[in-house]
Amino acid sequence: MGPRMTDVFITALGKFFPGPPIANDEMEAHLGLIHGRPARARARVLAQNGITSRHYALDRQQRTLFRNSEMAANAVRDLLARVALAGDVDFLAAATTQGDLAVPGFASMVHGDLGFPACEIASLGGVCASGVTALKNAYLQVRAGEKHNAVACASELPSRLFKASRYEPFVPPDEVLPFDAEFLRWMLSDGAGAALLQPAPAARGVSLRVDWIDIRSYAHEHATCMYAGAVKRPDGSLGPGWLDYPTFDAAAHEGAMFLRQDVRQLDALIRLGVDGFFRLVDEGRLVAPEIDHVVCHYSSEFFRTRIFELLAKAGAPLPAEKWFSNLRTRGNVGAASVFVLLEELVNGGRVRPGQQIFVAMAECRVAIQAPHLQKLAVTTADLAFR
């Protein structure tokens, strides 16, 4: 007879966004003009992604105002202010696409900023899916009875990669930034979120019981989509990694340090997400008509439309009025998305007892449920990002 598994509840959610919202016409004042010229692709990318405001941890002199680990710590503090915690936090999982330092791991830095007593930690790297991987790490610790107050958090600070000064030495004044490098400049934003997981619901407010989390990678089938540290060759393969160049300057001059996205991979990513939804239905984990809220992380309103089209084509539409996203007002905060989406939905009072929430990440596949106080189904699938 195996060990008894305990129920796991998300009992509090927190967030942190640096500074006031930044409107579209203010973006280049914070990121800077490359060679003093307005970007040519900005209007086109923004028209497609539908984002109207976002947050940057940069001022108008492109100075960083917060460390990435500091933002994650602030999100954790926000959730701890919402719940009465018996005992210390005994597990901390922290995720990000790019930490403040190359070494050590991100969780070590977040733990140091928080000043918690000694606890077990886990650092998760990746893109959007890494936030869900942090959530699963915390979930499994509590479910196995190893821990009682587990925190999962994620933070993103991509704006410092998009400063004009990053590009000007390597892009001649009479040339434009390659589209695969410029695209993300108008897509990504800064922010952090966190969740507290415990073996019992909170005494007050909404708690979400986690029933299962399923994460899958398709990197064996698809080329690398979003990446930094290399440049793709004409045949689509990756060139040498940034540490394989003779000097850091040589890697930078080749453009290996730009954060890039191969936009040709994006439609396949959306198809994989929709296919994953139907797999969960076929496995009996989800019953589409029973879903009350669809909380979806996608990087562009264009992809939302595409998802609707594919679901309708397959004969399983999810009504638009059930969908929730904060992409327009918060922007795309990558690994932190799963936390800030749930935080806004739950703490904003949008959820009622007994409802079921399906959370879909554009890069990962997970599911969660919450019974007596709330039902939650979080689904996310790790696709071809490496």
Cα 132 to Cα 362: distance, rounded to the nearest angstrom: 11
- Give mean pLDDT, residues 326-341: 95
Total structural domains in the chain? 3
Domain shared by 176 and 248, yes or no: no
* 54 within a domain of the structure (yes/no): yes
Lowest mean pLDDT, pick from 62-66, 146-150, 354-358, 370-374: 370-374
Instruction: Answer whether residue 295 is part of any domain.
Output: yes
Asked if the model's pLDDT at residue 246 lies above 90, the reply is yes
Residues 136, 283: one domain? Answer: no
User: Among residues of the chain, what percentage have pLDDT more than 70?
Assistant: 91
Say whether 153 sits in a helix, a strand or coil.
strand
Same domain? 192 vs 303: no
Examine the domain organization and report whether 235 and 323 are in the same domain: no
Task: Say whether both 194 and 105 belong to one domain.
Answer: yes
Higher pLDDT, 362 or 353: 353
Is 1 part of any domain?
Answer: no
User: Do 295 and 171 belong together in one domain?
Assistant: no
Residue 36 lies in a domain: yes
- Of 26, 34, 300, 17, nearest to 162 (Cα)? 34
Asked if 57 contacts 64 with a C-beta cutoff of 8 angstroms, the reply is yes
Per residue in 49-91, pLDDT tens? Answer: 999 999 999 999 999 999 999 999 999 999 999 998 989 999 9
Same domain (yes/no): 161, 184: yes
Strands 226-227 and 323-324: unpaired
Domain co-membership, 255 together with 138: no
Confidence of residue 277 (pLDDT cuts 50, 70, 90): confident
Which of 305, 356, 44, 27 shows the shortest CA–CA distance to 179? Answer: 44
Percent with pLDDT over 90 in the chain: 59
> Scanning the structure block, which residue is given the tokens 């690398």?
224
* 16 & 163 share domain: yes
Amino acid at 354: G
341 and 357 together in one domain: yes
Q: Are residues 58 and 168 part of one domain?
A: yes
Three-state secondary structure call for residue 34: strand
Average model confidence (pLDDT) across the chain: 86
How far are the Cα atoms of 1, 68, 214, 268 from residue 123, in angstroms, in the given order?
32, 13, 19, 28
CATH number for the domain including 35?
3.40.47.10
Residue 154 is assigned to a structural domain of this protein = yes
> Which neighbouring-strand residues pair with 198?
9
Domain of residue 108: give its range. Answer: 8-198
